[in-house]
Amino acid sequence: METTAPVNASLSVIIPVYNGAGMIERCLEALKGSEIRPLEIIVVDDCSTDDSAAIARERGAKVLTTPRNMGPAGARNLAAEHANGEVLVFVDADVVVEKDTLRKITARFDEDTNLAALFGSYDDSPEEKNFLSQFKNLQHHFVHQTSNPEASTFWAGLGAVRRGIYREAGGFDCRKFEVPSIEDIELGVRLRTAGFRILLDPGITAKHLKRWKFMNLVKTEVFCRAIPWSKLIVTKQGLINDMNLKTNDRLSAGLVALSLLLIPFSILQPLLLVPFAVCLMAIAFLNRGILGFFLKKRGLLFAVGAFAWQYFYFFYSGAAFGYCWVRYGLVRGTAARSVPAE
């Protein structure tokens, strides 16, 4: 792989925003208070109906406006076309970086001039205090903190990529992902397939301001994450033993499916509640690391609730993968075999 030039703090920070007033102020203030200043901060207003663009201008950001609502993938691509920095740093509008975040990003790229991209994680002190916001943030933190540093994916909530490599890869796929989805994961798969190195740095963290509620969490997690990611796995990425796809996660999803199958039969045969209980204990054992983390951070009651949500998470993740395996893997494979050879 060809060596690239040092970064030397030449960073273009890119922030897509849609109706982010109330959050983008804190995002920009944190960037202004960084130990090193970026070359530029580019905010892309994606047809907001609030004062997001005006707030960004007041705080010294360069503001671009999309011609139509393009989603974060298209908004980031638009900013990248105007960026001048050697490295593009993607920060979501509801993310507040730490004082040393940009310095750490610069250091990582300067230490390894062959590094193509990197990303960090949310911190372990989420802003919103309701259960779902705490659970999702802490789950994200734990997964990113315990995954392989040699990443097989990318995350644009707090991630960076060399501008030349980003453009060579074609940026985010804004045609396929017009709404917030797995556009960052898909970009990471393309980068890794092309032979580029991506680093997951657990030392790079930021605070997440998002408040999760039940309906928007389920909609986002199932239709914008689980199903499109499962499709990507079946059609391109393949199964990996990393991030949310570790062996223990796959085993947990299988045990959840088995336990659910046992429930209706246990009505006729109560003894089947014993293997059901065994399944639950096995799931708890496989997830002892993250459950222990929940226990340490928020106490026993939170950990019990988190176990229930982990169970639900494995249910919809497994169901999404099964659906995509049948629709995009099994069906296409069968169709391909049925085509007569010429």
Q: Are residues 35 and 145 in the same domain?
A: yes
The predicted pLDDT at position 58 comes to: 96
Q: Which domain holds residue 291?
A: 246-337
* Rounded CA separation 289/194 (Å): 33
Q: Is 180 a domain residue?
A: yes
Both 50 and 121 in a single domain? yes
* 72 and 208 share one domain: yes
The tally of CA atoms less than 13 A away on the side-chain side of residue 89 is 28
- Residue 224 inside a domain? The answer is no
pLDDT in tens, 275-285: 999 999 999 99
Q: Which residue's structure tokens are 């459950």?
A: 291
Tell me if 229 is assigned to some domain: no
Domain check: are 269 and 204 in the same one? no
Q: Provide the number of structural domains found in the chain.
A: 2
- pLDDT of res. 236: 83
Residues 184 and 272 placed together within one structural domain of the fold: no
**Spatial contact of 94 and 102, defined as CB atoms under 8 Å apart:** no
- Rounded Cα distance, 186 and 155, in Å: 10
**Residue 339 banded pLDDT, cuts 50, 70, 90:** very low
Examine residue 2 and state whether it is found in any structural domain, yes or no: no
Quick one: 204 and 287 in the same domain?
no
Determine what percent of the chain is predicted with pLDDT higher than 90: 85
Q: Are residues 271 and 171 in the same domain?
A: no
Q: Of 212, 231, 257, which residue is a domain's last?
A: 212
Is 135 domain-assigned?
Answer: yes
Q: How many CB atoms lie within 10 A of CB 259?
A: 20
Which pLDDT score, from 0 to 100, does residue 341 have?
46
Provide the strand spans (E) within 77-149: 87-91, 95-97, 115-122
CB-based contact 8:106 (threshold 8 Å)? yes
Same domain assignment for residues 124 and 267: no
pLDDT tens per residue, range 59-81: 999 999 999 999 999 999 999 99
Q: Do 61 and 187 fall within a single domain?
A: yes
The pTM score is 0.91
Q: 194-247 pLDDT, tens per residue? A: 999 999 999 999 999 999 999 999 999 999 999 999 999 998 877 777 788 899
At 12-64, the pLDDT tens digits run 999 999 999 989 999 999 999 999 999 999 999 999 999 999 999 999 999 99
Same domain membership, residue 263 and residue 163: no
Could you give the residue ranges of the DSSP H alpha helices within 198-246? 214-219, 227-232
